[in-house]
Copies of this chain bind each other. A is one copy, B any other.
C-alpha cells in the first residue's frame, strides 16, 4: 500500500506485457475465464483500457501469452535439478511443490484447459508446447527404468502419468481437502513403482 506511490512510468514492452500477464493470471485464478475481461485485467494492473489492445492486439492475444508463459514456468520448475535427487525424483518433488501444486496455479491451468478444448488457435499453441512437457517426462521415466534395469514403454507410461498429474490438478481445484501434497507424492510413486522401481528412496 505505502510503497504504491503511483510510478506511472513508461515501461518497456516486455515489462508491461509481463505485468499485464500477471494481472490476467490473477483475474483468472480469482474468477476463471469469466473474470478474464478487459475491465478486470486493467483494473488489476492499474492501467488504462487501451493497453491490452496496444500490447497484445486483442484479449485472445493476451490469453495466448498467458498460456505460453504458464507453460514456460511449468517446464522451468520441472526441469530444475535438485541436489541428491535423480531426475524423476526431482520431477515429482517439483510436481507437488507449491510452485506447481498451488491451488491458484492449478485453477489457472483448469481454466486454460477449458479454453484449449474449444479454441483451435490455442490448441495449436498447446500442441507445440506440449511436446516438450511429454518429452521431459519420457526422458525421466526411461532414465529411471534403465537405472533399475527395467524396460518400459515410456510413451504409454508417460501418457497415463500425465493424466494422473492433470487429475491431481482437477481434484485440487474442486475439492482441495481431499488431496494433500503428501498424498499426491505417494500416489505418484505408487503409480510409477511397477515401472521404474523404488529408486532407493524412502517412500511412504
Which A residues are closer than 8 A to B by beta carbons? 30-34, 107, 110-111, 113-118, 123, 126-127, 130, 156, 159-160, 162-171, 173-175, 178-179, 183, 186-187, 190-191, 193-194
Q: Count identical subunits in the complex.
A: 2
What is the CA–CA distance of A103 and B33 in the complex, to the nearest angstrom? 20
Determine which residue in A114, A123, A190 has the highest number of CB atoms from chain B within 10 A of its CB, and name it.
A114
**Which one, B162, B168, B183, B194, contacts A171 given CB within 8 A?**
B162
Q: List 20 A-B contacts (CB under 8 A).
A: A30-B118, A32-B115, A32-B118, A33-B114, A107-B117, A110-B117, A113-B173, A117-B174, A123-B175, A126-B174, A130-B175, A156-B187, A160-B190, A160-B191, A162-B167, A163-B164, A166-B166, A167-B170, A190-B194, A194-B194
Residues of B within 8 A of A113 (CB): 110, 170, 173-174
Q: Is the interface of A mostly helix, strand, loop or mixed?
A: helix
The answer to whether A114 and B110 touch across the interface, beta carbons within 8 angstroms, is yes
Residues of B within 8 A of A117 (CB): 32, 107, 110, 173-174
